[in-house]
Structure 1
Amino acid sequence: MSQTIGSSPAAGPTASRIERRSIDYVPLSERRGKVWHQGPFWFAGNFVIVTMFVGFVGPSMGLSIGWSILAIVLGAGFGTFFMAFHANQGPKMGLPQMIQSRAQFGSRGAIVPFAATVFVYIGFMVFDTIIATQGLQLVLPAAEWFWYPVLVAISIVIAVVGHDLLHFVQRWLTYLLVAVFAVVTVLAVTALPAAEDAAIASAGWEPTAFLVQFSLAAGYNISYAVYVSDYSRYLPADSPSGKLIAWTYAGAAGSAIWLMSLGAVIGAKLPGVDGIQALQGVGDLLFPGFGTIVVLVGTIALITIMGVNAYGAMLTGISAVDGFRPVRPTLSARVVGLVAVGLAVVTIALLIPADFLGAFNSFVILMLYFLVPWTAVNLVDFYFVRRGRYAITEIFNPDGIYGRWGWRGLVAYGVGFLAMVPFFALGFYTGPVAEMLGGADISFAVGLIVSGGLYLLLCRNLDLSAEDAARERSLAELEPAVR
């Protein structure tokens, strides 16, 4: 019996040893996995010590624990909404996340969001490397010049093995993280004494701090939008969209809200204490040495998410190069891409200023600026313009129907980004509107509305019927057995 495009393959390979695919299409015969696996994957992926640092910001700016947690819940809930809806693109298109942008920006025009995305991946890897090193130095003292290359090398090995190993590790790591950090959370709430600092003790409502905490939580989870299809593209094409989006949302939002809220509690009760030391101190309230166990478990999670970041940076980097010079999606190309990413991460980590927490907060805000216009354009195209109907082979054809430069996507991205500038609030620049708001940054809302709305407007005269024949040819070439 012939198979329809929306059905799962009758049989597929078991978990592969070393992944062979990179930016290329995943055939229906290779589709596998379960929708619910997205939940623990994104839970563990977001449940890292760096996530906790986002929750320190509200209390440090005079916001009470309650108001900080509310800002975190609203911000992470809002940011994850956009991230989760990208999950549906993976099984429908069978492609990694960022190469899909060629349909909106063109094979070469996509270099704009690609560059921003590589910046995000490498930035996260740098901060993860620094924090993981601090964790390991509690039990294995060694200089940064030793640990940085070692940790990056481990992450590269994980990324070389690829998709299935990443899913397996994240799924089982979830159980360990929940067990350990449930204890830490109870200790932080019940056993950690209140701060003696008068300013911290009198913290309450502060509108600017609330918006900053909201923006950081939202931006942090929006940044995961660049990953999502990388880890859902192997799912069967008929995976239920609602369940897929819900599991992705629950995993990513749940872990962010939990860990950022824990950070708010610890940041309010232990103001000015280094994040690793604070986490160790809370854990030691159970018994001496448990804090070190907590930090080491968190360090393991950091190393695995470094593998996720390295994998995504490699896919995006290959996609960028392929737009200008065709790249065969081989294992060797993946390894070369991963090594290049690793060298960049080690170099930046060794050169970054000591005040990395301040640098991290600025990084989260910056990536929000660059990614918001992209996610708006990409989602509007998938859900409202082309409605999930793409000619996959044409995405890899620079002279095909999507072209080299997608002017609609580029204009919408550029205008949306420029519209955000007056709302920016950074250490080195505060836009006029942000200044009027007391330093609060609401640029993400402006970028989403302007970029998404303008792209939808520019696509009113797009002749989608002309793409029908290309989609039929693409399906015939990719899935000749599917009718």
Structure 2
Amino acid sequence: MVTLADTEAGSIRNGPSLGIETRSIDFVPPAERHGKVSAQGPFWFLGNFQFFTIAIGFIGPGMGLGFGATILASVLGILFGTLFMAFHASQGPDLGLPQMIQSRAQFGYRGVIIPLLGTLFTFAGFNVVDTVLISQGLNHLFGWQIPTVALMLGAVAAIIAIFGHDWLHIVFRVLFWVSLPLYVIVSGAILFGIITPHAAGHTSFGWIAFAAQFAACAAYNITYAPYVSDYTRYLPTGQKRAALVLNVYIGASGAAIWLIILGAWLATYLGASDGMVAVSSAGNVVFPYLGTLTVLVSVAALTATMGLNAYSGMLTLITGLDCFANIPFSRGVRISGVLALAIVWLTISLSLNANAINALYDALSMMLYLLVPWTAVNLMDYFFVRKGHYAIEDFFTPKGIYGAWGGRGLLAYAVGFATSVPFFNLAGLYEGPIAHALGGVDISWAPGLLVSGVVYYLITRNLDLSAERSAIAASNEALGTNL
């Protein structure tokens, strides 16, 4: 076991570093904190401002749902799902730790490996689907070779992840300001009739299609939950929780709602089934090469998001290895983790030739199954059980107050997951009885969230929090903090 004192020291600074990040899953001391809460809005906005999001808007129209109903289902789904990701934001500056290290309080030093498997699948799965979407789209538009595009995407994403936290914020901020005016022009051209529909809209409605669109949108931002505090942990302590949560919420939900509605319009009125091709064609109607430029900038945004996935995936991988081995929290280990993940997602991506939209929908479903019980347990513990008070040093030893295996957290996770199984619908693999009764609509996230959270709250009612106070005080003294 590596203690916090053994980790590679980062340089004390008040601003971002332009070198390769030195820290990994270890605690970020107050002297190294920097950044502004207001920067979190554009950061998470850009995270959803790409073709992956546009494709979500195709689901409802593809099932015959009218444009207006698709908008309503999408807005409600995004507003609901974003709540769970946004509330994780306050854990970063409060604790100075990556998201999944903090989960050791609920699941134990080694028990956290259970939700870690789900989160690692999430990060790798998103990069697989992103690679498929981009490489197939660019092949369709420009004839670029799929293997070449995939390898270039992997290299750029890995480099961004290797340089780390501060470079991710810089890249995202630049791409936010580059992307925004392009999509404003394309969207404005639709609103003012410059881009005209090729087909008449319809007002068809069906509860099954409506529920499917809602569920996909809710799932979309819930799957961001394991990321959030990875990118808020360098913020100075004492941030206003409401302001931080609101910035993340508005950024992540605003971009998603915008581009999902754009995708729904493209599918409904232009008969689009490929977001990249549709945006290229629509933008080029406004003036030559606008669509092409928008496509290339959006590809850059999605590639940066792949770097985000690689970075958080690396933190998850190191956390998992640290559960059972003496892993140094060094720069070299971080780089090795990123490269290992890149090899895995590229190998899988290059072996796929299935329809990208089907891969997208199935991946979202599987990610949701694994993440929902975890986010319910984690948020319940943070806001209602321990209320943000933790012994940081005890996260890094199996002999600490959180133990090696957190029975309460693991039980709540298992019960929540088991309860949601009858609601699962994985096309061609499994359809639960309740999903079948609902016409194939997968709403497993609902019982998963409710049951896991309630069970965890009930079985922690007798948790002796007073016994943890001395460990918290000792940890704060050792770290020179008052967390």
Q: Which category of TM-score, normalised to the shorter sequence, fits these structures?
A: over 0.9
Task: Please give the alpha-carbon distance, in whole angstroms, between the structure 2 residues aligned to 1:324 and 1:345.
Answer: 24
Residue 20 of structure 2 is matched in structure 1 by: 18
Task: Please give the alpha-carbon distance, in whole angstroms, between the structure 2 residues aligned to 1:15 and 1:440.
Answer: 45
Superposition pairs for residues 4-15 of structure 1, below 5 Å?
12-15=13-16
Contact 2:126 2:309 in 1 (8 A): yes
Residue 350 of structure 1 is matched in structure 2 by: 350
Contact 1:195 1:268 in 2 (8 A): no
Across the aligned residues of Structure 1 and Structure 2, the Cα RMSD in angstroms comes to 1.7
Superposition pairs for residues 396-407 of structure 1, below 5 Å?
396-407=396-407
Contact 1:60 1:271 in 2 (8 A): no
Task: Please give the alpha-carbon distance, in whole angstroms, between the structure 2 residues aligned to 1:272 and 1:281.
Answer: 10
Residue 63 of structure 1 is matched in structure 2 by: 65
Residue 433 of structure 2 is matched in structure 1 by: 432
Residue 455 of structure 1 is matched in structure 2 by: 456
1:119 partnered with 2:143: no
Residue 232 of structure 2 is matched in structure 1 by: 232
> What stretches of structure 1 of length at least 5 have no aligned partner?
1-10
Deviations along 1:83-141, one digit per CA (max 9) or x if unpaired, are 00000000001001111111101111111111111111011111222233345547875
Equivalent AA in structure 2 for residue 153 of structure 1: A
Task: Please give the alpha-carbon distance, in whole angstroms, between the structure 1 residues aligned to 2:390 and 2:198.
Answer: 56
Residue 309 of structure 1 is matched in structure 2 by: 309
Cα offset for 1:444?
Answer: 1.1
Superposition pairs for residues 388-427 of structure 1, below 5 Å?
388-427=388-427
Task: Please give the alpha-carbon distance, in whole angstroms, between the structure 2 residues aligned to 1:14 and 1:139.
Answer: 41
Residue 110 of structure 2 is matched in structure 1 by: 108
Task: Please give the alpha-carbon distance, in whole angstroms, between the structure 2 residues aligned to 1:331 and 1:157.
Answer: 13
Task: Please give the alpha-carbon distance, in whole angstroms, between the structure 2 residues aligned to 1:218 and 1:367.
Answer: 12
Task: Please give the alpha-carbon distance, in whole angstroms, between the structure 1 residues aligned to 2:238 and 2:471.
Answer: 22
1:194 partnered with 2:197: yes
Cα offset for 1:455?
Answer: 0.2
Residue 46 of structure 2 is matched in structure 1 by: 44
Residue 27 of structure 1 is matched in structure 2 by: 29
Equivalent AA in structure 2 for residue 275 of structure 1: G
Contact 2:55 2:274 in 1 (8 A): no
Superposition pairs for residues 59-208 of structure 1, below 5 Å?
59-134=61-136, 136-137=138-139, 141-189=143-191, 190-196=193-199, 201-208=201-208
**SS of aligned partner of 2:419:** helix
Cα offset for 1:284?
Answer: 1.2
Task: Please give the alpha-carbon distance, in whole angstroms, between the structure 2 residues aligned to 1:319 and 1:403.
Answer: 16
Superposition pairs for residues 162-311 of structure 1, below 5 Å?
162-189=164-191, 190-196=193-199, 201-311=201-311
Cα offset for 1:271?
Answer: 2.3
Cα offset for 1:316?
Answer: 0.4
Contact 2:137 2:277 in 1 (8 A): no
Deviations along 1:296-337, one digit per CA (max 9) or x if unpaired, are 010110111111110000000000010011211100000110
Equivalent AA in structure 1 for residue 368 of structure 2: L
Residue 333 of structure 2 is matched in structure 1 by: 333
Cα offset for 1:369?
Answer: 1.2
Task: Please give the alpha-carbon distance, in whole angstroms, between the structure 2 residues aligned to 1:85 and 1:369.
Answer: 19
Deviations along 1:379-430, one digit per CA (max 9) or x if unpaired, are 0000000000000110111121111111111110111011111112221322
**SS of aligned partner of 2:225:** helix
Contact 1:373 1:451 in 2 (8 A): yes
Contact 1:135 1:296 in 2 (8 A): no
Contact 1:94 1:233 in 2 (8 A): yes
**SS of aligned partner of 1:285:** helix
Number of positions where the alignment pairs a residue of Structure 1 with one of Structure 2: 469
Task: Please give the alpha-carbon distance, in whole angstroms, between the structure 1 residues aligned to 2:79 and 2:263.
Answer: 17
Cα offset for 1:193?
Answer: 3.7
Cα offset for 1:151?
Answer: 1.4
Residue 372 of structure 2 is matched in structure 1 by: 372
Equivalent AA in structure 2 for residue 113 of structure 1: P
Equivalent AA in structure 2 for residue 455 of structure 1: Y
Equivalent AA in structure 1 for residue 477 of structure 2: A
Task: Please give the alpha-carbon distance, in whole angstroms, between the structure 1 residues aligned to 2:478 and 2:315.
Answer: 23
Task: Please give the alpha-carbon distance, in whole angstroms, between the structure 2 residues aligned to 1:433 and 1:312.
Answer: 34
Task: Please give the alpha-carbon distance, in whole angstroms, between the structure 1 residues aligned to 2:162 and 2:134.
Answer: 20
**SS of aligned partner of 1:224:** coil
Greater shift, 143-152 or 58-67, is seen at 143-152
Residue 5 of structure 1 is matched in structure 2 by: none
Contact 1:188 1:262 in 2 (8 A): no
Cα offset for 1:194?
Answer: 3.4
Task: Please give the alpha-carbon distance, in whole angstroms, between the structure 2 residues aligned to 1:206 and 1:400.
Answer: 53
Greater shift, 141-150 or 417-426, is seen at 141-150
Cα offset for 1:54?
Answer: 0.4
Equivalent AA in structure 2 for residue 80 of structure 1: T
Equivalent AA in structure 2 for residue 243 of structure 1: A
Equivalent AA in structure 1 for residue 44 of structure 2: W
Residue 4 of structure 1 is matched in structure 2 by: none
Contact 2:93 2:234 in 1 (8 A): yes
Task: Please give the alpha-carbon distance, in whole angstroms, between the structure 1 residues aligned to 2:272 and 2:15.
Answer: 49
Contact 1:44 1:170 in 2 (8 A): yes
Contact 1:135 1:295 in 2 (8 A): no
**SS of aligned partner of 2:223:** helix
Equivalent AA in structure 2 for residue 21 of structure 1: R
> What stretches of structure 2 of length at least 5 have no aligned partner?
1-11
Contact 2:74 2:217 in 1 (8 A): yes
Equivalent AA in structure 2 for residue 441 of structure 1: D
**SS of aligned partner of 2:375:** helix
Equivalent AA in structure 2 for residue 84 of structure 1: A
Residue 7 of structure 1 is matched in structure 2 by: none
Residue 8 of structure 2 is matched in structure 1 by: none
Deviations along 1:266-286, one digit per CA (max 9) or x if unpaired, are 011122542221111111111
Structure 1 length as normaliser, TM-score? 0.94
Task: Please give the alpha-carbon distance, in whole angstroms, between the structure 1 residues aligned to 2:435 and 2:383.
Answer: 32
